[in-house]
């Protein structure tokens, strides 16, 4: 990945498609490989909360809440710190800390893209046999634990908004938000434009 290669790898939810998120050309190549509209966002994964705070501009209260639900099956959208301008869209960035040791090790040296390892618009793979994209390295970790996409929650506004329901534990998240004195997450109106894929 340090030289721009593409890796398909297992996570706690589905198989991901990873490149070094700091390399603009590698990210462009990933969009091309997936056939994804460059205007649509992709997420990145980091190994821990410190990594999330480097890429996202979050306050102490939100950091404490996120530290209680991550690692986990959530993609959190936060205001971007500006570290990855070629990844952020409209001043926001989507970040994952997967509940999967190998995935976190994979992104321990630099942030790695966390989009699903499928052509845009096609089903997301739960095992290597479902991956049809030509990648530089395919890591077979067996079937994924959850087999369902992450829950996407936008924390960039006044109130957390669930943009995509998935395998993240919403009850846990809302309990931690309440404990932190923050508003409960609400389901955003579904308009098809919130794909973090």
pLDDT in tens, 115-144: 999 999 999 999 999 999 999 999 999 999
Q: Which two tokens stand for residue 68?
A: 């209680």
Q: Give Cα separations from 8 to 12, 118, 133, 156 (angstroms).
A: 14, 10, 9, 29
pLDDT in tens, 155-186: 999 999 999 999 999 999 999 999 999 999 99
Q: Which two tokens stand for residue 124?
A: 């997301």
Q: Please tell me the predicted confidence (pLDDT) of residue 193.
A: 42
**Please, what sign has the CA dihedral across residues 37, 6, 84, 106?**
positive
Q: Which two tokens stand for residue 146?
A: 């959850």
Q: Please tell me the predicted confidence (pLDDT) of residue 98.
A: 97
- pTM beyond 0.85: the answer is yes
Task: Give me the domains of the chain, ranges plus CATH numbers.
Answer: 7-184 (3.90.870.10)
């Amino acid at each position: 990945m340090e030289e721009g290669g593409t890796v398909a790898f297992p996570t706690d939810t589905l198989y991901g498609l990873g490149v070094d998120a700091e390399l603009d050309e590698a990210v462009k190549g990933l969009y091309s490989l997936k056939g994804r509209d460059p205007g649509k966002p992709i997420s990145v994964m980091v190994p821990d909360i410190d990594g999330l705070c480097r890429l996202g501009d979050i306050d102490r209260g939100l950091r404490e809440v996120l530290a209680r639900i991550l690692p986990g099956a959530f993609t959190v959208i936060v205001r971007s710190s500006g570290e990855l301008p070629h990844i952020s869209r409209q001043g926001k960035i989507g970040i994952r800390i997967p509940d999967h040791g190998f995935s976190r090790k994979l992104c321990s040296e630099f942030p790695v893209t966390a989009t699903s390892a499928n052509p845009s618009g096609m089903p997301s793979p739960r095992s290597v046999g479902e991956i049809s994209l030509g990648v530089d390295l395919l890591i077979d970790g067996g079937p994924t634990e959850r087999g369902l996409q992450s829950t996407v929650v936008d924390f960039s506004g006044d109130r957390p908004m669930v943009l995509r329901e998935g395998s993240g534990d919403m009850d846990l998240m809302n309990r931690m938000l309440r404990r932190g004195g923050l508003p409960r997450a609400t389901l955003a109106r579904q308009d098809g434009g919130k794909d973090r894929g």
